[in-house]
């Protein structure tokens, strides 16, 4: 970020310059959640405190993008320089090409819920929207396939999924699929892959 300062002499900044610069930082680095300015008139100094957005998923790249894209916990898609988020390997990958923008905050809340310790039988590796009618499909790190449907009933689906996964683990030797699209009708379908 120090490169963003350029060769400006901060000692000559007027009353509003630090705030203008904080907006410049926020626009140059979309991975910043906020930039606070603290100014000391006695010390003739300006301090900037920046906080990073918290990602809940890595966004599947499209085209020849150089910087990684992320979905924040508030549902904002943002770019970040390489290495800004070392925990990237643990985050699920989502394809947002079919997702309408108003659905992103809801998706972010869902991803936070399923990322809690023990929420799923195995961590979520990938989550994609099949179509608006069919809803979402996920793949867990252990190979289990989830046909999730829409993002409603999340907490209830997670509770039942624990029970279903325990039973399916005893019945199937290999990976299996759990279809939760008809959860509202009282149906959960399980089949081997």
User: Are 40 and 101 members of one domain?
Assistant: no
pTM for the model stands at: 0.82
Q: Can you tell me the distance from the alpha carbon of 124 to that of 140, in angstroms, rounded to the nearest whole number? A: 4
- For residue 101, give its domain range: 55-192
Is the Cβ–Cβ distance between 189 and 182 less than 8 Å? yes
Strand locations in the chain, DSSP E?
32-40, 45-52, 55-59, 68-72, 77-80, 93-95, 124-131, 135-140, 145-149, 176-179, 189-192
Residue at a domain's end among 52, 68, 91: 52
Mean pLDDT of 116-142: 94
For residue 63, what pLDDT is reported?
A: 53
Number of domains in the chain: 2
Q: DSSP letters of 141-165?
A: TTS-EEEEESSTTHHHHHHHHHHHH
For residue 8, what pLDDT is reported?
A: 60
24-51 pLDDT tens trace: 988 898 999 999 999 888 887 888 899 9
User: Are 80 and 19 members of one domain?
Assistant: no
User: Are 179 and 130 members of one domain?
Assistant: yes
User: Are 34 and 70 members of one domain?
Assistant: no
Residue 11 has pLDDT above 80, yes or no: no
User: Are 32 and 68 members of one domain?
Assistant: no
User: Are 118 and 75 members of one domain?
Assistant: yes
* CATH code, 131: 3.40.50
């Amino acid at each position: 970020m120090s490169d963003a300062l350029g060769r400006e002499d901060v000692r000559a900044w007027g009353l509003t310059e630090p705030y203008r610069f904080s907006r410049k930082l926020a626009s140059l680095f979309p991975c910043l959640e906020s930039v606070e300015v603290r100014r000391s008139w006695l010390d003739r100094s300006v301090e900037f405190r920046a906080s990073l957005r918290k990602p809940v998923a890595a966004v599947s790249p499209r085209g020849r993008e150089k910087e990684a894209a992320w979905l924040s916990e508030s549902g904002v898609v943002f770019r970040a320089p390489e290495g800004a988020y070392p925990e990237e390997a643990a985050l699920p990958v989502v394809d947002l090409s079919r997702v309408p923008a108003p659905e992103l905050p809801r998706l972010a809340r869902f991803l936070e819920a399923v990322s809690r310790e023990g929420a799923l039988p195995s961590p979520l590796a990938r989550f994609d929207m099949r179509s608006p009618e069919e809803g979402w499909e996920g793949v867990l790190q252990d190979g289990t396939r989830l046909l999730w449907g829409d993002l409603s009933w999340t907490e209830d689906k997670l509770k039942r999924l624990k029970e279903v996964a325990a039973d399916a683990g005893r019945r199937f030797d290999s990976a299996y699929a759990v279809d939760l699209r008809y959860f509202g009708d009282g149906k959960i379908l399980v089949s081997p892959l």
